[in-house]
Structure 1
Amino acid sequence: MSDIDVEKTLSQLKLLEKIGLLAGIDFWHTFPVERLDVPSLRFSDGPNGVRGTKFFNAVPSACFANGTALAATFNKDLLFKAGSLMAEEAKHKSVHVILGPTTNMARGPNGGRGFESFSDDPYLAGICSASIINGIQDDDIAATIKHFVGNDLEDQRNSSDSIITDRALREIYLEPFRLAVKYSNPKAFMTGYNKVNGEHVSQSEKIIQKILREEWNWDGTVMSDWFGTYTTETAIKNGLDIEMPGPTKFRDQDLVSHMVNTKELHINHINDRVRNVLKLVKATAKSGVKENGPEDDKNNTSKTSGFLRQLSGESIVLLKNNNNLLPLNPKESIAVIGPNAKSHAYCGGGSASITPYYNVSPYDGISAKLSSPPPYTVGAYAHKALPGLGPFINNSVTGKKGFNVKFFYDKEKKRQFDEVNVTQSCFFLGDYKHPDLKTNLFYLEITGDLEIEEDGEYEFGLAVVGTGVINVDGNLAVANNKDQKKGEFFFNNGTVEEKNKVKLSKGTHKVEVNFGSAPTYTLLNDDVVDFGGGGALNIGFAKVIDGKEEIDNAVKLAKSVDKVVLSIGLNQEWESEGYDRKDLDLPLLTNDLVAAVLEANPNTVVVNQSGTPVEFPWLSKANALVQAWFGGNEAGNAIADVLFGDINPSERGRVLYGEDIFIGYRYYEKLQRKVAFPFGYGLSYTKFEYSKLKVSVNESKDLLSVSVDVKNIGDITGSEVVQVYIGAQEPSIIRPVKELKGFEKVELKSNKLTTVKFDLSLKDSTSFWDEYQEQWSSEAGKYDVFVAKSSDDIELIESFDIKESKLWVGL
């Protein structure tokens, strides 16, 4: 892909070519202008890994730990390397622009995409974003920071109006994006679906033009979220460069050219938008990524696996470790129990999800540390929908795990046009294409041999966007083609999961699923984002168990061993784009299972996998608790590394934003309320001592310098996250007690000492947004520097003075 001269190319473009550049041509590609060597760029999700161009039957990819896990590393250098690996993955998928990172605020624990974001602290979110963006763009792949701004929930997300005070908008919700611009300069922004204070962000002159472009002096490309464009003229005039995906709904060439020719839309607005699109083309020219290039899985190497394992391992947080229950000794008798032990909670759901190269379960990782596989029982189910049928199916065509899938033009299955073999149980066909298919109406026959290991009752489930039935041994097992009911599947577009129980004997059983694509669907829902295309289906399966009997089995097993690893949590069913969690409960009978196992064996290590908080009603009785997140390909190995001590853990509609600036720890500290695990908290297998805090200020250079000595006073090597918080002693307005303004992660051998230094922006560290002046205000007065292990564990305090008040805007 050759470099271009932006202004020269702009001057040579014809009007229809300019208009073409303002929208995608399909789900993932921009408009090309071959005669001027303007290539078609390829976009791809995203935050957890680079998928490429297909949801269905995708080329496998590296799956990274989720956003909150990445932030829990508190390791800027490691996140830069993560960004570099994302860029490498992009090149293997012929991707020019990665749609990530996600940088929204985790306003509350229920948000469906909270796992995708980094934190409820804007400084941590901004610095994590900047580190990953720098890693991506260091290799000439463009990063797209999203979802700009206030897109912090999933309910009614394309019409939701986030009512935010100007101060909270500036100090909390815009701040991570501002910091990302200041420290990394992302090449692209993606707007959210939502409104802010009555106006859709994707067409907001105030947010896109006034703040992002003029105040922050940012000079890149703004694209809509997929189907997140709502007008033609307004969005073009107010700064939305690219409507995604294509074909366009609002930027038809005939319509927009008519508006230009009749002077309803000024040509300068078109030129401004096109200029920014060409800048994105230029920014990726040195990447070496070919236009419409191939996609491969050749980056599935030991080097990639090793890094993903390190990344996931550093994210894991040790929350409790009474009586030094951890690390585990492989010579002890250890049982593994729990719904997450053999499942693969490697990522959250929605557009962040990918087909991984492979995935390692916690049970797999623990087994690899022992001389023989440990005894196991599930204890309790925790699935929201039935687990995928795929792992239990053999493909009679390939002889491997998975399904054979045939595509037909007609319901009678007389005219076949495609055939694939897949291992997945979830089929998202919104971006399915075939050169001979001219409409979205088609039919699937999905077949496989189900291997049953013991006689019993088994449950099958089917959720669809379209219509479908499941037949087992020629008999109807599940029907989801009439009287369909609305559910949460597929970005909130799909039906409920229709289920039915079938008695099966040990042996092989023939399974056939017949599916009609989206045009056969009997439900319509205008309150969600419609991804169009061929629809979707999800095929579920599980053995029917008695919940009480299975908990009794777990108790019996727990009593028979020295120690138990109890693997619990959520997965991509519970945390997903498209809907918010209704509560903070662990699924189904999980809490009953945990309470029973803790009673049976106090030497139980509870490992929780979730992207956002869950309630632990049994917390006081647990002696060891580990937060393990959604850890990507290497989740199971990383969990085992921490449990056995190979890694020493370290720290982790109309909506009124009524909490204002008091989000997260700011709220609890202001009300002087204790929490179980404060922001930034995490235990280690060693101990650290802080001393000699020094603080100095240079107002003319906008510099706040902080240094502190840190010593490892324990017996083993470990890492410590040194956190710096700033608080104003006598502010003129209500402010948080303190706010995170710096962090560094250091690794020290036993009995070693290092001096940790911070050079911080003085104005960034001390300012609040003055709504009357409509500027940032750094007030003269006395401020405290808190050096801490967490927001509630302050080690040292020192103060400094600002002599002159200052108002400012920009970066």
Structure 2
Amino acid sequence: MTAYNRVNGEHLSQSKKLLQKVLRQDWKWNGMVMSNWYGVYSMKESTDAGLYLEMPGPTRFRELVQTSHVVVWNEIHMEIIDGNVRHVLQFVNDCLGAKISKAQAESKSTDPAVSQLLINNAGESIVLLENEDNILPLSAEKTPGNEAIALLGPNFKAKRNSTGGPACFSARYTITPTKRPKGSECHIPCKCPGAQHRGLIEERSVATTKIVLSEYRTEKLPAGQQLFYVDFEGYYIPEETVEYQFGCSCLGTEQMFLDGELIVDNKTSKVKGDAFVMGMGTRKSAQKLSWEEAGRGGTRVFWNRGQVHRAGSFGRGRDGPKKADKVVLVTGLSKEHESEGYYEKIGTHPSYAFGHGFSYTTFELGVPDIILGEDDVRVSVKVTNTGKVAGDEVVHFYVELTSPNIIRPKKELKDFAKSKWALGESKVVSVKLPTLDVTSYWNSYKNKGHLQSDCGYVFQQDHRPCTLTLSDYWDWDVS
């Protein structure tokens, strides 16, 4: 699946160099190549480059009439079309060879080695953003200052086993301190509720509400009609008698009913949402609300000598931290949220920069040492575990140009190395970087790589710089 971005000024989905030379010839890949969702930006260029399938359907560029027209006038040769079709058919045959029936139920892997691998990967992927007073890792022992721990926030009760979008999957099991509703029903009518001759298109029983309606397709709708309405019906069995908050959001109109009573109406009058990410919007209000008697909602959860206690009033939540020796606020974004961006170029100060993450221990890094060889640059740095426990550390190696002749990033990540350190251990971390990869860039105008002369290259890790200056320059080709 091709990415959305450009490489050297050319969209990846239509790059003949990357899809044919690199992927097919150099890497000997002979499988399917398809676009990411709506990641096609041309008809001829992407077809000639060997992008076999445009996703999703119906297509936006490879319509029958338009494609037939350019083929008739030899803008796209039939050999290219035949080759692309041949690869798609080969992919279909490969799938059929797996002998997996469409009606076959998914099996559950109980291999301990697989489970341990997934657990290790999950642990490696966790980023510790804050750790005030070294509250983490939590200890199961009852020691002074650790008799009771309060866990606050919605994500403590949530099941989080995957991210959003196409990364969602059904896990064999999930671990959470509380139980959640087991299932819900989904009705898909073709006309607005209350409309005459309203017909039921489909009815499903689903175990999750993670349904992407933008990709819903059915042959029961009239040709050319894409309008339909959905009713979701579910059952929730409360564990205790407290106040609950219900909410919903969608792109369009919606209504929520509880026991037949309308409780959320985003059809008659839409309610605009507030920004809440990283200190914007209602974040300040929420901070002010935290321990005031007027606040409602939320959950207070205690771990106290193995017992779990729950309360349904955020106004009474301040009593919990008073009785607890440590407080862990479990907040964050839901798994449907995805974001990316940059910050150094525009001079903003992010709450959490790229590469940010704490360890349960502390490390001290020395000054980087650089050795310039004929074709590579070797960078090494001494790292010492100065904390109280063993731990891992990821050392990032960045390069910054002191006076670039084009617009360049403030710093560029060139390599990284990860290792484990015992308590008090010191070791040297080294990387070997090709000189051209480190010091040059791709000139899309010349279609060549370019290394700038008389420019300092600052190698740094954790703001500990070491400068290398090259006195000459050259252009180089990649055949």
TM-score of the superposed pair, with normalisation by structure 2: 0.68
SS across alignment from 1:721: strand
Matched, 1:726 2:406: no
Determine the C-alpha separation between the residues in 2 that align with 1:462 and 1:728.
Answer: 48
Take 1:696 and 1:287, find their aligned partners in 2: how far apart are those partners?
54
Aligned to 2:206: 422
Letter in 2 for 1:314: E
Determine whether 1:778 maps to 2:433: no
Which amino acid is the alignment partner of residue 558 of structure 1?
A: P
Distance apart, 1:696 and its partner CA: 2.5
Alpha-carbon separation, structure 2, partners of 1:299 and 1:272: 38
Cα separation, 2, equivalents of 1:327 and 1:480: 44
Hey, what's the Cα distance between the residues in 1 that align with 2:87 and 2:272?
A: 40
State the Cα distance separating 1:211 from its structure 2 match.
5.7
2:81 is paired with a residue of what secondary structure? Answer: helix
Change (3 A) 1:693 1:355: same
Q: Secondary structure at the match of 1:756?
A: strand
Question: When you count helix as a share of all residues, which structure comes out higher?
Answer: 1
Separation (CA, whole Å) in 2 of partners of 1:612 and 1:731: 25
Equivalent runs, 1:712-791 vs 2, <5 Å? 712-729=385-402, 731-732=404-405, 735-736=408-409, 738-770=411-443, 773-781=446-454, 783-784=456-457, 786-788=459-461, 790=462
**C-alpha separation in 2, matches of 1:551 and 1:479:** 22
Residue 183 of structure 2 aligns with which residue? 402
One-letter amino acid of the counterpart of residue 432, structure 2: D
* Residue 364 (structure 2) pairs with residue 553 (structure 1): no
Deviation at 1:419, TM superposition (A): 5.9
Conservation of the 8 A alpha-carbon contact between 2:401 and 2:455: yes
Q: Whose relative contact order is higher, 1 or 2, with alpha carbons under 8 Å and at least 6 apart?
A: 1
Corresponding residue for residue 314 of structure 1: 124
Aligned to 1:451: 237
Matched, 1:688 2:474: no
- In structure 1, the partner of 2:475 is 807
Number of equivalences: 428
1:146 maps onto 2:6 in alignment? no
Displacement, 1:686?
A: 3.0
**Normalising to structure 1: TM-score of the pair?**
0.43
Aligned match for 1:477, one of 262, 267, 272: 262
- Confirm or deny: 8 A CA contact 1:727 1:784 kept in the other structure: yes
Distance change >3 Å, CA 723–CA 808, structure 1 → 2: same
Contact 1:712 1:753 in 2 (8 A): yes
Partner of 1:643: none
Q: What residue in structure 2 maps to residue 563 of structure 1?
A: 326
Task: Select which of 252, 256, 260 maps to 2:71.
Answer: 260
**Max radius of gyration: which structure?**
2
Moved more, 233-242 or 750-759: 233-242
Structure 1 residue matching 2:315: 3-state secondary structure: helix
Spell out, residue by residue over 1:15-37, the C-alpha distance to the aligned partner (whole angstroms, 9 max, x if none).
xxxxxxxxxxxxxxxxxxxxxxx
Aligned 1:603-642 pairs, distance under 5 A: none
User: What stretches of structure 2 of length at least 5 have no aligned partner?
Assistant: 274-292, 298-312
Report the alpha carbon displacement of residue 761 of structure 1 after superposing the two structures with TM. Answer: 1.5
Runs of at least 5 residues in structure 1 that lack an aligned partner in the other structure: 1-143, 150-168, 175-195, 365-389, 393-400, 489-544, 577-610, 614-662
Q: Structure 1 counterpart of 2:175, which letter? A: V
Identify if the C-alpha distance between structure 1 residues 483 and 426 changes in structure 2 by more than 3 Å, giving closer, same or farther.
farther
Relative to structure 1, is the Cα distance of residues 757 and 715 closer, same or farther in structure 2, using a 3 angstrom cutoff? same
How far residue 358 of structure 1 moved from its aligned partner, in angstroms, is: 3.5
Paired AA for residue 322 in structure 2: K
1:559 Cα shift? 0.7
Is contact 2:385-2:426 (8 Å) kept?
Answer: yes
Deviations 1:263-284 (A, max 9, x none): 4643244246446657x849x9
SS in 1 for 2:156: coil
Relative to structure 1, is the Cα distance of residues 437 and 327 closer, same or farther in structure 2, using a 3 angstrom cutoff?
same
Q: Quick one: structure 1 residues 467 and 301, their matched pair in 2 at CA, closer, same or farther if it must change by over 3 Å? A: farther
Q: Which residue matches 2:372?
A: 697
Query: What pairs with 1:201-216 in structure 2 (closer than 5 Å)?
Result: 201=11, 208-209=14-15, 212-213=18-19
3-state DSSP class of the match of 2:379?
A: strand
The answer to whether 1:360 aligns with 2:217 is no
Cα contact 1:718–1:748 (8 A) shared by 2 = yes
* 1:757-780 C-alpha deviation (Å, 9 max, x unpaired): 312111110113446645322234
Change (3 A) 1:732 1:315: same
Deviations 1:581-601 (Å, cap 9, x if unpaired)?
Answer: xxxxxxxxxxxxxxxxxxxxx
Post-superposition offset of 1:553: 1.3
Partner secondary structure for residue 223 of structure 1: coil
Deviation, structure 1 residue 485 = 6.0
Question: Aligned-residue CA RMSD in angstroms?
Answer: 4.9
* 3-state DSSP of counterpart to 1:451: coil
- Could you tell me whether the CA contact under 8 Å between 1:215 and 1:809 is conserved in 2? no
1:343 aligns to what? 158
For residue 138 of structure 2, the aligned residue among 325, 328, 333 is 328
Work out the CA distance in 2 between the residues paired with 1:329 and 1:297. Answer: 36
**Matched letter for residue 686 of structure 1:** T
